[in-house]
Structure 1
Amino acid sequence: MEDVVDTLIPYVLKDYPEACVCPKCIDDIKALTLNNVPQHYVVTEKGEALTKARMLSSQFKADVLKEISISIKTVSKNPRHPLSEKVVSND
């Protein structure tokens, strides 16, 4: 799940140009998201294959994107640093 969230965060952040993209805020977004999506632990190759297949589903991706969006909004409202330290993406 961590790899999936790491991959999707930059895409969702494009929709939130006002969001801080400092390492602390990105880590908070990631942690909050990971705490709110189902965990997937596997110990066999079959389990890994089934998990990868599930991750390709559009519903799975939509659920993770939704959680990332919620996390971005939450962290943006409650950053762990003064707003004067806010870093805004110029992409």
Structure 2
Amino acid sequence: MAAVQMVNRMEPMVAQAVDETLVREKKVCSCERCRHDITALALNMLPPRYVVTPLGEVVTNVDLQSSQWKADIMMAVYRAIEIVRGRPRH
């Protein structure tokens, strides 16, 4: 029997949004620490979307492609960037 894994599908979505946004935003540090801080803060602003089955992953991935989820993710990323920009931990 294969091991069951629990995965928060928000993590890769937020990480991708952070990476894409930091390429465009030049007035914020994009070092690894700041990138992780931005990602963690943004994830804490969003509800988790955990899945444990392949079907759950497919359904959740389709749901996360909606324009509302994309807007929510981008809003959380920009809010997190403002926080980290104001108080970087280095």
Please state which band the TM-score falls in when normalised by the shorter chain.
0.7 to 0.9
Structure 1 residue 15: Cα displacement:
4.2
SS at match of 2:50: coil
- 2:51 pairs with 1:77: no
Distance in 2 (CA, whole Å) between partners of 1:43 and 1:27 is 25
In structure 2, give the amino acid aligned to 1:18: K
Deviates more, 1:38-47 or 1:22-31: 38-47
CA RMSD of aligned residues (A): 1.2
Moved over 4 A (4+): none
- 1:52-75 deviation line (CA, Å, top 9, x unaligned): 111111110110011000000100
Q: Residue 29 of structure 2: which of 1, 20, 29 is its match?
A: 20
The equivalent residue for 1:60 is: 69
TM-score by length of 1: 0.81
Which structure: greater strand fraction? Answer: 2
Corresponding residue number in structure 1 for 2:47: 38
Aligned residues: 81
Q: Which has the higher contact order (CA 8 A, sep 6+)?
A: 1
Give 1:34 deviation, angstroms.
0.9
Deviation at 1:80, TM superposition (A): 0.5
